[in-house]
Structure 1
Amino acid sequence: MITIKEVARHAGVSMSTVSYVLSGKRSISEETKRRVEQSIAALGYHPNAGARALASNRSQVLGLVVPLRSDQNLPVIMQFVSSIVASARDYDYDVLVLTKEAGPGEAHRVTARSMADAIIVMDVESADPRIPELRSIDAPVVLLGMPDDHEGLSCVDLDFETAGRQMAGHLAERGHRSIALIGSPPAVYERGTSYAARLLHGFQSETTKRNMPASVHSCAPGYDSVSACLDAVLHPDRGITGLVVHNEAVLGTLLLELRRRSLDVPADLSVITLCPDDVAASLPVPLTSIAVPAQELGAIAVEMVMTRLTQEQAPEVRLLQPRLTDRGSTSTR
């Protein structure tokens, strides 16, 4: 392992000079600083995390409040987590995972005790009860999601409302006149999860604008729930020809049940969904979809929080515009 002594020898300076360059505690000439930084890069030196934390008064840790719920799709959640962890490492930061069950005061506890320098929060609700606490934290906070009241907080998310509009509009533009939304499990709507509420609002706004008959069906995972949901969706009185699905966990079961009922996608029923690209492309019938850009959103959340750690930065909201990929699962009527 490369030591600070070897860096100093390589750069032709004292060990204290290298230490001052790393900590920024003393002014060092630009020429000397550049020479030390070049030696660090050339030798592949990595400062000891504990020593660096003492020098900078930082923990080099980001706190991540992440949902661990039975009604969440864990593989998708883990795409966000892996992106945040990988992006944090690019800044030489580690990630401390805080579960929802730890309580609403956990984010304040870990920052007050210097266990984490900043907080990223997932599983954001429209009327999130944690907002007052998050506003009071004396550390940067970024929400991966957007509550109704986000004043004074930085947020990044997919524009779910626009996604709902686009998916309904996609079917309307192909001549569909009666469509349905198969949405998230009931518990997701009951607790007012922001992304689900925003997509629902976009879907309903678009169908109302186009004067399209449309129904909404919350669907729990599991074969019996999916079958019962389809019984309601496909009731002959509805005349449904197109489905918008916002529920990654049921997609595979849904397609298998449609096949069991001798319904072809897209000849008999068009299907469009919102989910990660790799999920949509690997299903028994590849689905036209709007992507959940988990990797991009996680990386942006880390970049936003690191920017606020290093400089004065006003709170901002970034909503990524939806990206639709046509995989042939919607037909023209």
Structure 2
Amino acid sequence: MVTLAEVAARAGVSASTVSYVISGKRSISQATQDRVLRAVTELGYHPNASARALASSRSNVIALMVPLRSDMYVPVIMEIVMAIAATARAHGQDILLLTGGEGPDGVRRVAGTGLADAIILMDVELDDKRIPVLREASMPAVLIGLPSDTADLTCIDLDFEATGAACADHLADLGHRDIALIGESRSVYQRRTGFAARTLEGFRQRARARGVRAVHRPCEGTFESTAGVLTRILEERPETSGFVVQNEAAIRPLLTLLRQFGRVVPEDASVVAICPESVALQSSPQLTSVSIPAERMGRGALELVMAHLSGRPTAGTTLIAPELAVRESSLSAG
């Protein structure tokens, strides 16, 4: 069995520093935390959970409410979940998975029974019905996403409003005067899911500010639905030459359909995607994109939970700035 001392030796720090990183009881520099957590993972160190639980009167369990919806892109969700789970293991915590469909009742059950010390919520809506339950229960919580009212909440997310704005800016800088956002499924907008609504708002605001004509169309992501969306866009606005895609399932159909419509990417049409970097790099042509920092969001959420449980102040919003990588799919207009 791997010992605390062995982890300390691998990380090049004292055993007490390893203990502080795992417990979260003291503020440790990010570089040192990274070295310790890497050593924990490499050596497969597992703190004695039962002893820690008896000493702290905690369950050492973090509840994670994961969305299980057909209109959500599962690979990104699972990447976030894996990052949370790996970071939890490094801190000697276990994860209790809840389905997003349990909603307020699921949060109420966890908070009322003491099944977990804290909860992480994903798939956050602007008017999320789980938030009032959290506030009533006063349970330590971190949201991956932003509701409309973030007062007294701890949230972490990609800055999706800035992401929408960055995509519109890029196309406007290239001289595109008619642009379109091909978005998530209609149901995602009907639920007022935060990431999609904020991206759309940033896209629209920046397009107006740049004097660019912009249109938004939800898309189910199938070949047939993408064909219908693209056909309608080009019928209504035949001069559209810039496309932003925030629906991973629609990316491949869109590239195929643009070719079928006689619009070569990037010579005749520029495409910018909001998607995992792997999706952008595996496309042909490789896509100009804003990547989803899934691993960073998951790890950051769990670290915020541990800070909360150690008594350090965490209320506030952590927004990750978007990074737009220019690749082969975008080019100056005409």
> Same fold per TM (> 0.5)?
yes
Match of 2:27 in 1: none
Q: How many Å apart are 1:150 and its aligned residue?
A: 1.2
In 2, distance between residues paired with 1:130 and 1:289? Answer: 32
Q: How many Å apart are 1:76 and its aligned residue?
A: 1.2
Q: How many Å apart are 1:129 and its aligned residue?
A: 1.4
Q: How many Å apart are 1:192 and its aligned residue?
A: 0.3
SS, match of residue 234 in structure 1: helix
SS, match of residue 143 in structure 1: strand
Match of 1:223 in 2: 223
Bigger mean CA offset, 258-267 vs 242-251? 258-267
In 2, distance between residues paired with 1:284 and 1:161? Answer: 27
With normalisation by structure 1, the TM-score equals 0.85
Bigger mean CA offset, 134-143 vs 69-78? 134-143
Match of 1:315 in 2: 315
Structure 2 CA distance for partners of 1:44 and 1:85, relative to 1, 3 Å: closer
The C-alpha deviation readout for 1:270-327, integer Å capped at 9, x for no partner, is 0001111111111132100011100001111111111010024151111111011111
Structure 2 CA distance for partners of 1:53 and 1:332, relative to 1, 3 Å: same
In 2, distance between residues paired with 1:46 and 1:183? Answer: 43
The C-alpha deviation readout for 1:121-159, integer Å capped at 9, x for no partner, is 000001111111111223310100001111111001111
The one-letter amino acid paired with 2:329 is S
Structure 2 CA distance for partners of 1:113 and 1:285, relative to 1, 3 Å: same
Question: Gapped runs of 5+ residues in structure 2?
Answer: 7-22, 24-39
Q: Note the 1:118-133 alignment, pairs <5 A.
A: 118-133=118-133
Q: Is the 8 A contact 1:87 1:299 kept in 2?
A: yes
Structure 2 CA distance for partners of 1:186 and 1:265, relative to 1, 3 Å: same
Q: Is the 8 A contact 1:144 1:157 kept in 2?
A: yes
The one-letter amino acid paired with 1:311 is G
User: Is the counterpart of residue 110 in structure 1 residue 104 in structure 2?
Assistant: no
Instruction: Give the number of the structure whose alpha-carbon radius of gyration is greater.
Output: 1
Q: Note the 1:52-201 alignment, pairs <5 A.
A: 52-201=52-201
User: Is the counterpart of residue 262 in structure 1 residue 265 in structure 2?
Assistant: no
Match of 1:16 in 2: none
Match of 1:299 in 2: 299
CA RMSD of aligned residues (A): 2.3
Q: Is the 8 A contact 1:63 1:107 kept in 2?
A: no
The one-letter amino acid paired with 1:70 is S
Q: Is the 8 A contact 2:103 2:130 kept in 1?
A: no
**Would you say how many aligned residue pairs link Structure 1 and Structure 2?**
299
Q: How many Å apart are 1:3 and its aligned residue?
A: 9.8
Q: How many Å apart are 1:236 and its aligned residue?
A: 6.5
Match of 2:205 in 1: 205
Bigger mean CA offset, 278-287 vs 190-199? 278-287
The one-letter amino acid paired with 1:134 is L
With normalisation by structure 2, the TM-score equals 0.84
Q: How many Å apart are 1:260 and its aligned residue?
A: 2.8
The one-letter amino acid paired with 1:193 is T
Question: Gapped runs of 5+ residues in structure 1?
Answer: 8-23, 25-40
Bigger mean CA offset, 216-225 vs 134-143? 134-143
In 1, distance between residues paired with 2:46 and 2:97? Answer: 24
Q: Is the 8 A contact 2:186 2:219 kept in 1?
A: yes
Q: How many Å apart are 1:259 and its aligned residue?
A: 2.4
In 2, distance between residues paired with 1:226 and 1:97? Answer: 33
Identity of aligned residues (%): 45
SS, match of residue 235 in structure 1: helix
Q: How many Å apart are 1:46 and its aligned residue?
A: 4.4
Match of 2:277 in 1: 277
SS, match of residue 318 in structure 2: strand
SS, match of residue 330 in structure 1: coil
Q: How many Å apart are 1:115 and its aligned residue?
A: 1.3
Q: Is the 8 A contact 2:46 2:92 kept in 1?
A: no
